[in-house]
């Protein structure tokens, strides 16, 4: 068994993890990542197979379930009702119900409002001084989109972001006891807010996702209030975190390497978005549990063993793609694993793509002289990969 060593909080790794991925991928199909104490897959074909192998899954085996620390109870309660960590048959029921409400038609209906939002945000950019594009633009587009989709007031966006940041921090290698207490408090407050809002929508239905989730039925079954709240929180936390950093990482890459107007045309924008997601995605690791004793790629997993699927490493596998470390939006989009795969393929992928396909062309059309004002740095938030800020100027 090949073993690799790499702290996920080591500064050089946080800023540039890809050399480690290359070295680990060259060792074997599966290697033991000592710092995480689990096997890890870094190659495209290995990750692709494990994402679809039903002998592995997201839900913790029942005999391994524990109550968890009392101070984390509100956070764990939300997690217990999340689509993300469910497996069939619960996952099948939840996903069908969510997709009945979260339709492509409803997502596309957000398009005109998002275009107006993007122009309004750009109107407020400082004309001649550096500013943080991450907070001024990249954060605002997805969080306002989620507010509009759910039907909650846009004035709640700052509070929703605060709750989201504190909950998502639980998945970071740098988490502390303070992180846990903050996540629990945010979970409690977020749940209370949504519980009240769901009750309002039960009495007074609207034209929004929460109403559609309440009304969605499949074979006579509907979402419980806990499942509905868990779904709303997942859509905000996963959707916001991913799209903010997809936009930020993408703009960073375009400004560092130079960008081509052809990338931003109706014919080119889809390729640009796919290449941004492939080249420097916001989520680098996704884990699975083995559900039985199973041998794959020369390693025998026991029930309950975890395996790390390295999505960002799979995206840059030279066996799957020519010149994988080259940013090339004209290449065919064939190896992008940034949204996962199999039955857990990201339900919010169409919304994330729409937001990027709208936000990027408008930004560069309105701000053609956009330039970096300081060297961007990535946050110590692995296995997420996003910037601390993105300081730019328009002159």
Between strands 285-290 and 306-310, the pairing is antiparallel
Query: How open is the CA angle 367-165-92, to the nearest 5 degrees?
Result: 100
Give the 3-state secondary structure of residue 322. coil
17-56 in b/e burial notation, b at 16+ Cβ within 10 A? Answer: bbebbbebbeebbbbbbeebeebbbbbbebbbbbbebeeb
Q: What does the block give as tokens for 133? A: 């594009």
Neighbours of 262 (CB within 10 A): 13
Residue 213 to residue 41: CA distance in whole angstroms: 36
Name the pLDDT band for 391 (thresholds 50, 70, 90): very high
pLDDT tens, 75-120?
A: 999 998 888 889 999 898 889 888 888 888 889 999 999 999 999 9
Residue 40 has pLDDT above 70, yes or no: yes
Neighbours of 298 (CB within 10 A): 9
* Residue 58, phi-psi category: left (phi > 0), alpha (psi -120 to 50), beta (remainder): alpha
Which of 48-57, 123-132, 148-157 shows the lowest mean pLDDT across its residues? 148-157
Residue 54 has pLDDT above 90, yes or no: yes
Residue 338 to residue 274: CA distance in whole angstroms: 9
pLDDT tens, 284-320?
A: 999 999 999 999 999 999 999 999 999 999 999 999 9
Residue 251, domain extent: 3-393
Residue 8 has pLDDT above 90, yes or no: yes
Between strands 56-57 and 131-132, the pairing is unpaired
Question: 174: Cβ–Cβ under 8 A, 6 or more apart, which residues?
Answer: 9, 380, 381, 382
Q: How far is CA 324 from the centre of its chain?
A: 21
* Tokens 């890459």, located at residue: 253
Total count of domains within the chain: 1
Name the pLDDT band for 218 (thresholds 50, 70, 90): low
Name the pLDDT band for 236 (thresholds 50, 70, 90): confident
Give the 3-state secondary structure of residue 218. strand
Residue 379 to residue 371: CA distance in whole angstroms: 21
Q: Which segments of 11-101 are extended strands (E)?
A: 30-33, 38-41, 56-57
pLDDT score for 280: 97
Greater confidence (208 vs 34) lies with 34
pLDDT tens, 114-146?
A: 999 999 999 999 988 999 999 999 999 999 998
Residue 110 to residue 145: CA distance in whole angstroms: 7
Residue 322 to residue 318: CA distance in whole angstroms: 6
User: To the nearest whole number, what is the mean pLDDT of the chain?
Assistant: 93
Residue 142 to residue 114: CA distance in whole angstroms: 9
Helix or strand holding residue 234 (H, E): helix 225-257
Residue 46 to residue 313: CA distance in whole angstroms: 11
Query: How open is the CA angle 312-57-339, to the nearest 5 degrees?
Result: 30
Residue 281 has pLDDT above 80, yes or no: yes
Residue 367 has pLDDT above 80, yes or no: yes
CATH number assigned to the domain comprising residue 77: 1.10.630.10
**Could you tell me which residues are beta bridge partners of residue 299?**
296
Residue 185 to residue 40: CA distance in whole angstroms: 33
pLDDT score for 219: 64
The pLDDT of 205-223, averaged and rounded, is 84
Dmax (CA) of the chain:
62
**Nearest residue to 284 (alpha-carbon basis) of 172, 134, 359:** 172
Residue 395 has pLDDT above 80, yes or no: no
């Amino acid at each position: 068994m090949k073993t690799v060593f790499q702290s996920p909080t080591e500064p050089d790794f946080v800023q540039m993890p890809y050399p480690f991925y290359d070295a680990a991928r060259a060792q074997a199909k599966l290697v033991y990542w000592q710092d995480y104490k689990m096997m890890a897959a870094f190659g495209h074909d290995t990750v692709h197979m494990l994402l679809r192998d039903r002998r592995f899954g997201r839900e913790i085996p029942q005999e391994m379930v524990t109550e968890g620390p009392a101070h984390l109870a509100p956070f764990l309660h939300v997690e217990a009702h999340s689509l993300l960590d469910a497996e069939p048959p619960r996952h099948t029921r939840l996903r069908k119900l969510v997709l009945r409400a979260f339709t492509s038609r409803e997502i596309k209906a957000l398009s005109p409002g998002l275009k107006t939002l993007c122009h309004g945000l750009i109107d407020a950019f400082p004309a001649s001084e550096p500013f943080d594009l991450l907070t001024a633009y990249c954060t605002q587009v997805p969080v306002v989109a989620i507010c509009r989709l759910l039907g909650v007031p846009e004035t709640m966006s700052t509070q929703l972001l605060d709750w989201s940041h504190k909950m998502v921090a639980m998945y970071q290698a740098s988490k502390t006891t303070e992180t846990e207490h903050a996540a629990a408090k945010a979970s409690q407050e977020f749940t209370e807010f949504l519980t009240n809002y769901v009750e309002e929508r039960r009495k007074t239905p609207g034209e929004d996702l929460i109403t559609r989730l309440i009304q969605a039925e499949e074979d006579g079954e509907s979402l419980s209030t806990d499942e509905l709240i868990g779904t709303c929180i997942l859509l905000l936390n996963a959707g916001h975190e991913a799209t903010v950093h997809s936009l930020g990482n993408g703009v960073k890459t375009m400004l560092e390497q130079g960008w081509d107007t052809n990338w931003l045309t109706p014919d080119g924008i889809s390729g640009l978005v796919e290449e941004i997601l492939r080249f420097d995605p916001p989520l680098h690791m996704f884990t699975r549990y083995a559900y039985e004793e199973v041998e794959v790629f020369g390693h025998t997993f026991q029930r309950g063993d975890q395996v790390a699927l390295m999505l960002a490493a799979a995206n840059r596998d030279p066996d799957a793609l020519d010149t994988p470390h080259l940013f090339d939006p004209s290449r065919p989009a064939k190896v992008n694993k940034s949204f996962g795969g199999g039955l857990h393929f990201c339900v919010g992928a169409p919304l994330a793509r729409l937001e990027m396909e709208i936000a990027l062309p408008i930004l560069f059309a309105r701000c053609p002289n956009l330039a970096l004002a300081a060297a961007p740095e990535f946050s110590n938030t692995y296995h997420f990969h996003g910037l601390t800020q993105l300081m730019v100027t328009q002159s």
